[in-house]
Amino acid sequence: VLGRSILKIGILTPSVIAGPPETFRKQVEARCIVGVERKGKALALHLHGNSTIPPAYLLVRLGMTGQIVVAPRAAPLLPHTHVRMALDEGADELRYCDSRRFGRLRCCSRKELSNIFGSLGADALQITEEQFRQSLYGRRGAIKGLLMNQAIISGLGNIYADEALFKAQIHPETPAGEITNSAARKLLNAIKTVLRRAVDLQGTSFRDYIDIEGRPGNFRARLCVYQRTGKPCLRCGTSIRRILVCGRSSHFCPRCQRRLRVFVPRGVAARGRGRSH
DNA sequence: GCAAGCCTGACC
DNA sequence: GGTCAGGCTTGC
């Protein structure tokens, strides 16, 4: 879509637009897409400005089932198509479809976009080891929840959080602050490796995810634990288990991903909190 | 009953 | 501030 202009917008479902739909239409119509930007799971299309109009930013958050595709205007509408944006002379259009309507489109200024991106933690592919270690420090919550907290590290969802924890051999319920420096390094390497491989294969599609050309991703066949409950661990053959962590299903190998136990010398353990007898 | 996410608000 | 449950929504 880079270099193409959004001529006219049809909003079929106003609730997928954040803020007043008419404002969105006025701000986005008749503008050229001059750049694209991403942080974590948020996408921003840069819309051209000039001496009278400041640049604007079309923020896209796909949620779980959102799809943004370019299609010929004459192509049949998929079910749950909510927004149509005519491109250039109008032969093609940019469409937003979303069966569960968890995703949102919004138009914002540079300042608003900076605030939104600023509220996200460092992108998972950019974050440094030092930043990552800092974000674990002192946290008692489960590592799985932290990895999915976009304000701390942005870009991981349920699939890649499970896959990264498997690769790093860390139990999803491990308190984040108990992860050692060497395990944190291993986890961050796992996160980046998993994400890069998934991106190389155009992502993971169960039912809904498709890219802008309408193609599903191919990473599903490479998943080690996600949605493999009861199947053998690819590393040791143990049955993959599914538990709830922070309200999200979490898949892991109970043998490869043992819970950390803090080593306490016997003499110390006996003192203070020893048994009563 | 389960699901690729995010926002809100309650509780500590 | 950190943590987490609940709700939004529709389809399999």
Model confidence pLDDT, tens digit, residues A28-50: 999 999 999 999 999 999 999 88
Three-state DSSP state, A103: coil
A155 nearest nucleotide via C1' and CA: B5
pLDDT of residue A266: 53
| A272 secondary structure, DSSP code | T
- Using a 10 angstrom Cβ sphere, with 0-12 exposed, 13-18 middle and 19 or more buried, the burial of residue A31 is buried
Q: What percent of chain A is modeled with pLDDT above 90?
A: 87
A264 pLDDT higher than 60: no
Q: Residues 6 or more apart from A227 whose CB is under 8 A from it?
A: A206, A251
pLDDT bracket for residue A207 (50, 70, 90)? confident
User: Distance from residue A113 (CA) to nucleotide C10 (C1'), in Å?
Assistant: 30
pLDDT bracket for residue A269 (50, 70, 90)? very low
pLDDT of residue A78: 86
Which nucleotides in chain B lie closer than 7 A to a protein CB? 2-7
Integer Cα distance of A250 and A252 in angstroms: 7
pLDDT bracket for residue A259 (50, 70, 90)? confident
A161 nearest nucleotide via C1' and CA: B4
pLDDT of residue A277: 33
Sign of the dihedral through C-alpha A39, A42, A5, A214: positive
Look at A126-130, A237-241, A273-277 and tell me which has the smallest mean pLDDT: A273-277
CA angle, A95 then A5 then A111, to 5° = 90
pLDDT of residue A275: 36
Three-state DSSP state, A174: coil
Model confidence pLDDT, tens digit, residues A108-129: 999 999 999 999 999 999 999 9
User: Distance from residue A29 (CA) to nucleotide B8 (C1'), in Å?
Assistant: 32
Query: Quick one: tokens of A269?
Result: 């353990």
pLDDT of residue A180: 95
Integer Cα distance of A187 and A144 in angstroms: 11
A72 pLDDT higher than 60: yes
Task: Choose among A73, A130, A99: nearest CA to A13.
Answer: A99
Mean pLDDT value across chain A: 91
A208 nearest nucleotide via C1' and CA: B4
A265 pLDDT higher than 80: no
CA angle, A41 then A44 then A46, to 5° = 165
Model confidence pLDDT, tens digit, residues A190-205: 999 999 999 999 999 8
pLDDT of residue A46: 97
Q: Which residue is nearest to nucleotide C6 (CA to C1')?
A: A247
Integer Cα distance of A87 and A72 in angstroms: 10
Q: What is the DSSP string of A214-262?
A: SPPPSGGGG-SSTT-TTSBPTTT-PBPEEEEETTEEEEE-TTTSPPP--
Model confidence pLDDT, tens digit, residues A138-181: 999 999 999 999 999 999 999 999 999 999 999 999 999 999 99
Report the footprint of strand B: residues with C-beta closer than 7 angstroms: A 40-42, 61, 63-65, 100, 102, 148, 150, 157-159, 204-209, 226, 242, 248-249
